[in-house]
Structure 1
Amino acid sequence: VKDVIVWGNITGSNYIDLSHAKLYGYDCAIWGPPTYPRSLLNMIRDSEWIHSEILSAQSTLSSQVSHCTGMLPAHAVATVLQYWYHDSPSDEIVSVGILSEGQFCIPEEIIFSMPVRFQNGNWEVITELEINETTQKVLERLSHELVQEKLVALKEIEEMRPYEAE
C-alpha cells in the first residue's frame, strides 16, 4: 500500500487520507506488472470497516510506542533523510511535517504534515492533488487546532477555543 497521506500534527491530531492510496501486487483476476496499482478505496467494499480499522491501528500503535519509544521516529527520520539525499520515487506520495506556506488552505507558519516529494536534494509540496470536500473540512479543523496550540504556546491566548465549522 502506497500513497497514504497523513495530514496534520503527526504526533497529535491527524487524519489518514486514503483517497490517493494505491495497492500493488494484489493477487486478483486482473494481472499486470508488479508496478500496476489499484485504488485502495475501490478494492474495499466496506468503508466503515476501513475507518474503524485505522482508528484501532492508531490506538494500538500509540500504546505500543511506549515500548519502543525511539524506533518509529528514528525509522521515519532515516527514511526522510534517504529520500532527501537519493530522491523519493517520482510517482510516490510521502507525508512530512513542514512549515506551511498556505498550501491546501492551511494557515501559514504552522508545522503541518502534508504530501511532498523529494528531488535533487529539495522537497516540494504536491499541490496538484485533488482534495475532496470531506478532507478539506478535516484540514480546516486540524489547522484550527494547531493554530490554537501555537497561540497558547506563545501566550497570545490563555486557552484553546473549540473549532466551529462555518
Structure 2
Amino acid sequence: MSKPLRVLVTGAAGQIAYSLLYSIAKGDVFGPDRPISLVLLDIEAMMGVLKGVVMELIDCALPLLTEIIPTSDISMAFKDIDVGVLVGAMPRREGMERKDLLKANVKIFKQQGQALDQFAKKNVKVIVVGNPANTNAFICKKYAPSIPPQNFTCLTRLDQNRAQSQIAARVGVSCQDVKNVIIWGNHSSTQFPDVTHATLKGKPVLEVVKDDNWIKNEFISTVQTRGAAVIAARKLSSAMSAAKAICDHLKDWFHGTPDGQWVSMGITSDGSYGIEKGLIYSMPVKIGAGQEYTIVQGLSIDDFARSKMDATMKELIEERDAALQTCEA
C-alpha cells in the first residue's frame, strides 16, 4: 500500500463533516488502495463532540484509516497536509444576509490561508466549503502565496448536482443520464446554472426538455435558491448533499473526468470567458490523470448567458473587495 494521504477536515464536529468523514476514510474518494491519515480540526468548545466522532470512526473498523488526529490547534492541523477540506465556518441560518456571513467568516479563512502557507505541503490541494465559499477561497489563496493559485478551489459541485437532478426529474430519467451541466460564477443566488451545452442520453438537453421558459426561469431559480429552501424546510443547512458533492469534487480532482465530460469547480480565473483574472469563479473544467484541471474552452455564450455570467461576476468582485477591506481593517 502507498503512503497515507494526510487529509484535513475543518469543522470536523459539524453536520457536513459527520456526513463526509466515513466516505473519505472508507476509500470512496481517494481510492480503495490509498491509506488515509485523518486530521480533524474544530474549536476548543467542540472537542467533546469531536471525541464522539473519533470514537465512531474507530468503531467503523475501516482498513484504510491509519491515523486520526483530533485537534483545536491550527498549526498541528495544517502540518504537512496533502488535502485541505475547509468546511468549518459559521453556517448560514434562516434570515441571515450573505454579507453577515462574509464578515463572520472571512477572518477565519485569512488565518487558515496563513496556516496553509506556513505549515502545509506546497502541493496541497484545497477545497473551500464554508460560505461565502468563492470569496473565502480567494482570501485563503491570497494569504498563502507560496502555494500555487490553481490548488485553491471552492465547492460548486453541489449546485451542479442540483441542476442535473432537476433536469433528470423534469424528463423522468436518472441523473447520471444528464451530462455537462455548467455552474458559472458564485455559489450564491446569482450563480448561473447553464444547460446550453448539456446532454441527456447524448441529445442536447434543450431539445429534450423543449421548454425554454422553464429553463430560463423556474429551473434557474430553483437551483439558485435550493440551499435556502433546504434551510427553510430542515432549519439546518444541506449537510448530506454537500458532503456527497465534496466527495464528487475531490474524486474527480484526484482521478480525472471521463472523456467528453466536464465538471464545475470554483477556480482561479485566468481571464477565460471575460471573467476578471484572479477571481474564484465557477467554470467547467476537464481533469486529467495528473490531477491538473483545464478550463473547457470555445463554448458559445449567448446574450442571456453573458448577462447572467456578468451579474454573478459583479457580485464576486463586490464580495472580494468587502472581504479584503475586512481583512485589512
Which TM-score band applies after superposition, normalised by the shorter structure? 0.7 to 0.9
Residue identity in the other structure for 2:214: W
By how many angstroms is 1:94 displaced? 0.5
TM-score (norm 1): 0.77
**Hey, which of these two has a bigger chunk of helix by percent?**
2
Structure 1: 5+ residue stretches without partners: 25-36, 157-166
* 2:260 alignment counterpart: 91
Tell whether 2:270 aligns with 1:101. Answer: yes
Match of 1:18 among 174, 182, 195: 195
Residues 197 and 204 in structure 2, CA contact (< 8 A), matched pair in contact too: yes
* 1:52 alignment counterpart: 217
Tell which deviates more after alignment, 100-109 or 56-65: 56-65
* 2:309 alignment counterpart: 139
Residue identity in the other structure for 1:74: A
String of CA shifts for 1:47-77, please: whole Å, max 9, x gaps: 1123333123543453215545322222122
Partners of 1:146 and 1:16 in 2: how far apart? 16
Q: Which structure would you say has the larger RCO, counting Cα contacts within 8 Å and 6 or more residues apart? A: 1
Check 1:144–1:59 CA distance in 2 against 1; reply closer, same or farther (3 A cut): closer
Check 1:145–1:11 CA distance in 2 against 1; reply closer, same or farther (3 A cut): closer
Tell whether 2:251 aligns with 1:82. Answer: yes
Residue identity in the other structure for 2:228: S
* 1:151 alignment counterpart: 321
By how many angstroms is 1:137 displaced? 2.3
Match of 2:297 among 127, 131, 148: 127
* 1:70 alignment counterpart: 239
String of CA shifts for 1:87-131, please: whole Å, max 9, x gaps: 111211201000111111100111111100110211111122222
Check 1:102–1:153 CA distance in 2 against 1; reply closer, same or farther (3 A cut): same
* 1:27 alignment counterpart: none
SS of 1:155's partner is helix
Partners of 1:46 and 1:85 in 2: how far apart? 37
* 2:280 alignment counterpart: 111
Partners of 2:293 and 2:283 in 1: how far apart? 12
Tell whether 2:184 aligns with 1:7. Answer: yes
Partners of 2:206 and 2:267 in 1: how far apart? 27
Match of 1:38 among 181, 188, 203: 203
Partners of 1:148 and 1:45 in 2: how far apart? 36
Highest CA radius of gyration, 1 or 2?
A: 2
* 1:160 alignment counterpart: none
For this pair of structures, how many residues does the alignment match?
144
The alignment yields a C-alpha RMSD, in angstroms, of 2.0
Between the aligned residues of both structures, percent identity stands at 30
* 1:161 alignment counterpart: none
TM-score (norm 2): 0.41
